[in-house]
Amino acid sequence: MYVPDIRRVATVLASAALAAGMALVGAGSAQAAPVADAADGAQVSTVPATTSTGARSGLGVAEQASSYWTAERMRTALSADLLVKGAKAKSDRAARPTGAAQSVAPAAPTVPVSAGLAGATAGGPTTAVAASATVGKVFFYNPADGKNYVCSAGTVNSGSKLLVMSAGHCVHGGRGGQWMQNWIFVPLYNYGSEPYGRWSAKYLTTFTAWINDSNLDRDVAWITMWPNASGQRPVDVLGGNGLSVNYSYEQFVTILAYPAAPPYDGGWQQYCQGTTFRPGIWPFQENKIALRCGFTGGSSGSVWLRLYNDAYGYVNGIMSTLSSDGTNKSSYFDTAVMDAYNSVANRT
């Protein structure tokens, strides 16, 4: 097993504070009809995003979702690790390299942005990592338990310029659960400040393997956003990360996230850097990539970026779970991930 260079990891592992086997996952879900077939039978389902409140006169769905999120609700939203745990990986042929490595190129914003620096803990590397406007905090309402939650997410370049990626459990509760509601993305969130405003979800998409079986091998989601109140698309304003699939399990990545459970507070972007590895012991290795970051609840859905250039990179993973030793894991990105992306890339 490859061991990452932990000298490059700018986080506090705080193992004593981590619950054994803690998963940053959600509760169960109701299923929508699959709308696309991905490689090796991996299907995705898409539904229109909805709100938890009745229609308000003069407000569309996007405005209703946005207006739901008062400062108090955002401040008190819970980290997603507090949702029902117990989802497991169910590795199969669809969760490993299924073809040649492929990439979608990132896109620069139409107006240059000044992002600031991502947070680093004491003792971290002296070279600062720039925070990215492509990364933000996600807020959503879980109708299964009537509570508000937080995740992380990042933009991804596509024909629509409206696409955001996050974890499957940040859009749907998994087996027996429901689709999340009041879903908004707040890029570069900074202790209540919203320098780029907020975007509301228009469509939610994730693998049916997550919806039906809470399969962590497919804990990945795509969210098509409404344009913001000024009619702007998120990738045009923020830039969009690229996408990589079928790369080796060992990739140097930068993870930008909003961990919200102790020892973090979810107020500002935190970063972790290192070389990913395939978890497990041969021949019983998981079809995942992993890095010992110790990121806690709230970091679910954060993008794992290859070739990060202090503005954007290539999404090569999405934060899914946390183990008791501080190891974070992501679904391995195979051809099914690219096929799913292609099925939603031009949706408006």
Contacts of 41 (CB under 8 A, 6+ apart): 94
Rg value, the chain, Cα: 18
- Average pLDDT (18-45) is 43
Instruction: Give which of 187, 261, 263 is closest to 11, Cα–Cα.
Output: 263
Cα 334 to Cα 93: distance, rounded to the nearest angstrom: 10
Over residues 206-247, the pLDDT tens digits come to 999 999 999 999 999 999 999 998 999 999 999 999 999 999
Q: 52 and 43 in contact (C-beta within 8 Å)?
A: no
Query: In terms of pLDDT, which residue wins out, 334 or 122?
Result: 334
Cα 153 to Cα 23: distance, rounded to the nearest angstrom: 17
Tokens for 124, please give them. Answer: 């971290």
Over residues 143-189, the pLDDT tens digits come to 999 999 999 999 999 999 999 999 999 999 999 999 999 999 999 99
Residue 346 phi, psi dihedral angles, 5° rounding:
-110, 10
